[in-house]
C-alpha cells in the first residue's frame, strides 16, 4: 500500500494505492470508511492498480459535495497520469461515479455500481434525508448512525461478524457531522442519469441486493426493466454487498473489467 495526497486549492486529501496494472478507482458509500476496500486489495491487486480515496472529507463552504469529490477524483487521475478510469462505486460513491462519468466522460472507461439508484431522489426520500439532517444538527448523530447501519447490514451478518460490525459502526460514529450533512445534501440534489445512460456508449453495470432495505425497490425494478441485464438484482444480498460478500463482488468486478477490456 502506498499513501499519497493530492492538493485542491489550499486543501490536501489522502488516497491509497494497491498493486499495479489496469487502474480501478474504488469509491465507498455513505457511513462507510475507505478501509472497506482493503480486502479487495488481497484479491485484485495482482492484476489491477486499485486507487482508494477517502471520501469523508471536508469541502469548502458553499460547494456541492459530489461536484467537489468528482474534482478530487480527477486531480488524483491527473497526478497519476492516468488517461481513463474504471470506477467502482458503492451507494454514495456510486453517485460520485455517475457525476464524474457525466462530467468527465472522456476520462471514464466504465462504471461498476453497487446499490445505486440511477434516477433522482423521489420526494419521500428527499424528505427523509432532510429529517436526517435536522436530527444531526440536534446532536443525534450516534442514534442516526446506529439506525442507518442496522438497516443497511443484514441481521445474519451482524450476528456472525460482531467485531467487524462494531468496528464499522465506530468509524461511522466518528465521522464529522458537517461532512455527513454535506453528503446527504448532495444526494438530495443529485441528477437523474437515466436518459443520459440510455443515450451513452459508456459500459456500465449496476448490482442491487434483493433484500436492500435502504433503496426503493420499485425504483430498482423500474430501472431493471429499462436497462435489462445492465441492472441486476441479486437474491440474498442487502445494501452493503461490498462488505457482506466481497468474494461475490470481487468476482463480478473481475468479470466486468474482463468484458470491458475485450
Q: Tell me how many degrees the CA angle 4-145-249 measures, rounded to the nearest 5.
A: 55
Reported as a single tens digit per residue, the pLDDT across 89-137 is 999 999 999 999 999 999 999 999 999 999 999 999 999 999 999 999 9
Any domain includes 15: yes
- CA neighbor of 242 nearest in space, from 73, 15, 34, 24: 34
pLDDT at 14 over 80: yes
- CA neighbor of 74 nearest in space, from 102, 100, 98, 113: 100
**% of the chain beyond a pLDDT of 70:** 100
Structural domain harbouring 229: 2-121+192-261
Any domain includes 167: no
- CA neighbor of 111 nearest in space, from 74, 76, 85, 75: 85
What CATH number is given to the structural domain containing 234? 3.40.50.1820
Between 261 and 136, name the one with better pLDDT.
136
Any domain includes 219: yes
pLDDT at 1 over 90: no
Any domain includes 156: no
Any domain includes 242: yes
Region of 209 (left: φ > 0; alpha: ψ -120 to 50; beta: rest) is beta
What interhelical angle do 65-79 and 92-103 show, nearest 10? 70
Reported as a single tens digit per residue, the pLDDT across 25-73 is 999 999 999 999 999 998 999 999 999 999 999 999 999 999 999 999 9
- CA neighbor of 70 nearest in space, from 106, 44, 98, 112: 98
Reported as a single tens digit per residue, the pLDDT across 166-178 is 999 999 999 999 9
Amino acid at each position: 500500500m502506498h499513501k499519497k495526497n493530492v492538493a485542491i486549492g489550499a486543501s490536501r486529501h489522502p488516497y491509497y494505492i494497491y498493486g499495479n496494472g489496469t487502474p480501478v478507482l474504488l469509491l465507498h458509500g455513505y457511513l462507510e470508511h475507505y478501509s472497506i476496500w482493503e480486502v479487495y486489495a488481497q484479491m485484485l491487486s495482482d492484476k489491477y492498480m486499485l486507487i482508494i480515496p477517502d471520501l469523508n472529507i471536508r469541502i469548502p463552504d458553499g460547494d456541492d459535495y459530489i461536484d467537489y469529490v468528482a474534482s478530487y477524483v480527477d486531480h488524483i487521475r491527473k497526478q497519476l497520469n492516468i488517461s481513463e478510469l474504471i470506477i467502482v462505486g458503492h451507494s454514495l460513491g456510486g453517485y460520485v461515479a455517475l457525476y464524474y462519468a457525466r462530467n468527465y466522460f472522456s476520462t471514464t472507461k466504465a462504471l461498476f455500481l453497487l446499490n445505486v439508484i440511477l434516477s433522482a431522489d423521489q420526494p419521500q426520500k428527499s424528505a427523509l434525508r432532510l429529517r436526517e439532517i435536522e436530527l444531526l444538527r440536534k446532536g443525534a448523530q450516534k442514534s442516526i448512525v446506529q439506525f442507518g447501519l442496522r438497516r443497511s447490514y443484514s441481521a445474519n451478518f451482524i450476528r456472525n461478524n460482531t467485531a467487524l460490525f462494531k468496528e464499522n459502526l465506530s468509524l461511522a460514529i466518528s465521522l464529522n457531522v458537517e461532512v455527513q450533512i454535506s453528503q446527504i445534501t448532495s444526494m438530495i440534489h443529485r441528477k437523474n442519469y437515466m436518459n443520459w445512460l440510455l443515450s451513452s456508449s459508456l459500459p456500465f453495470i449496476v448490482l442491487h441486493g434483493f433484500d436492500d432495505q435502504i433503496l426503493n425497490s420499485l425504483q430498482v425494478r423500474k430501472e431493471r426493466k429499462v436497462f435489462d441485464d445492465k441492472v441486476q438484482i441479486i437474491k440474498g444480498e442487502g445494501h452493503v454487498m461490498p462488505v457482506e460478500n466481497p468474494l461475490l463482488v470481487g468476482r463480478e468486478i473481475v468479470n466486468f473489467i474482463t468484458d470491458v477490456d475485450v
